[in-house]
Amino acid sequence: MQHDLMKKMAVFCSILCIAAMGCILYLSANKVITISDVAQDEVLKTEKITEKKENEEHILTFILGKSDTSYLRIPLPEGCKADDIAIENHYMDQELCIVVKGAEETFYVDNAISGNRQMVREGKWEALKDEIKLIFRLTGIFEYRTILENNNLYVSFLSPKEVYDKIVVIDPACGGGNDGLVVEGIREKDITLEIAQKLKEKLDKTDIKVYYTRMDDVNPGEKERVFLANEIRADMYIRIQVDSCEDAGVYGTTTVYNGDYFIPGFGSVELADTLEREVVTSIKGKALGLSEAQTEEYAIRNITIPAAAVKVGCITNRQEASLLVREEYQERIADGIYNAILKIYEGADK
pLDDT in tens, 199-223: 999 999 999 999 999 999 999 999 9
Helix pair angle (327-349, 188-203), 10° resolution = 50
Q: What is the pTM of this model?
A: 0.86
**Residue 55: predicted pLDDT:** 59
Report the 10 Å Cβ neighbour count for 26. Answer: 10
Residue 50 pLDDT greater than 70, yes or no: no
What confidence tier does 35 reach under pLDDT thresholds 50, 70, 90? low
CA distance 287 to 264: 25
Length of the chain: 350
Cβ-proximal residues to 71 (8 Å cutoff; 6+ apart), any chain: 65, 115, 116, 147, 154, 155, 156
Helix pair angle (327-349, 268-283), 10° resolution = 140
**Residue 24: predicted pLDDT:** 37
Q: What is the percentage of the chain residues whose pLDDT exceeds 90?
A: 76
What mean pLDDT, rounded, does the chain reach? 87
How is the beta sheet containing 287-292 ordered, strand by strand?
209-212, 167-172, 236-243, 307-314, 253-257, 287-292
What one-letter code names the amino acid at 192?
T
**Residue 29: predicted pLDDT:** 40
Q: Is 2.60.40 the CATH classification of the domain at 33-158?
A: yes
Backbone torsions φ then ψ of 105, nearest 5 degrees: -60, -30
pLDDT digits (tens, 9 = 90+) for 163-176: 999 999 999 999 99
Domain ranges in the chain are 33-158, 162-349
The beta-carbon contacts of 289-297 under 8 Å, at least 24 apart in sequence, are 289/254, 290/254, 290/255, 290/256, 290/257, 291/254, 291/255, 291/256, 291/257, 292/256, 292/257, 292/258, 292/259, 293/256, 293/257, 293/258, 293/259, 297/256
Under 8 Å between Cβ of 274 and 346: no
CA of 286: how far to CAs of 57, 240, 309, in Å?
A: 53, 17, 17
Under 8 Å between Cβ of 40 and 89: yes
CA distance 276 to 123: 44
- The fold of 162-349 is Aminopeptidase (3.40.630)
CA distance 173 to 171: 6
